[in-house]
A and B are shown apart, each in its own frame.
Chain A
Amino acid sequence: AQSVTQPDIHITVSEGASLELRCNYSYGATPYLFWYVQSPGQGLQLLLKYFSGDTLVQGIKGFEAEFKRSQSSFNLRKPSVHWSDAAEYFCAVGAPEYGNKLVFGAGTILRVKS
């Protein structure tokens, strides 16, 4: 069965600083991987996805993520954080053989200090 671990429940960074949110997954085959962002009271917005190919994927809002099969990781990065990036971030793994139902991590709450 798939599982996703986001080891950091909360992260605080200064505006303008770089950001890395960690995600580790467990899945027997080649995974579909996703990062979503949720602002308070809002739905989930897709930031980026990995299906295959280039292991460094670019997303919206200046985010990128790198798939590392050897480490079973899919960490999210941003070179310079803006105050508007404060939100909760979810990593998810999809199982295409099961209709691609998503298994989500517990989420990381990002706080940005000015």
Chain B
Amino acid sequence: DSGVTQTPKHLITATGQRVTLRCSPRSGDLSVYWYQQSLDQGLQFLIQYYNGEERAKGNILERFSAQQFPDLHSELNLSSLELGDSALYFCASSPRGVDEQYFGPGTRLTVT
């Protein structure tokens, strides 16, 4: 158990819908990262927050957005969902944002 929690574990929704994935980092970690894992793209970095501020952005679609709240938990919002958005979404956290990352168990999103 890494100490990073993600909810929900599984999510099934229809195309065009909007969902919110939630992540709680390890106690004391200031930085949160979001990654997408799919069969065709592998593990891809989406976005990083550090202490509430966006720090780095990767291949994140405009339909996707994220934020980190004052209590340091983070949410990833995915809207206008398409079949191709079906994937495992991982959250990771790290103490200072430039050190090792600890991953949560992931949220499996299925878009039908």
Query: Which of A's residues lie within 8 Å of B, judged by CB?
Result: 34, 36, 42-46, 49, 51, 90, 92, 96, 98-107
**Cross-chain pair count, CB within 8 angstroms:** 56
Question: How many B residues face the partner with a CB closer than 8 A?
Answer: 26
Interface-forming stretch among B13-21, B42-50, B65-73, B79-87?
A: B42-50
In terms of DSSP, what is the predominant structure of the interface of chain A? Answer: strand
Residues of B close to A103: CB separation below 8 A: 45
Residues of B close to A45: CB separation below 8 A: 2, 103
In terms of DSSP, what is the predominant structure of the interface of chain B? Answer: strand
12 more CB-based (< 8 A) A-B contacts, given A43-B105, A49-B100, A102-B43: A34-B100, A43-B90, A44-B90, A45-B2, A46-B100, A46-B103, A100-B98, A102-B35, A102-B101, A103-B45, A104-B43, A106-B42
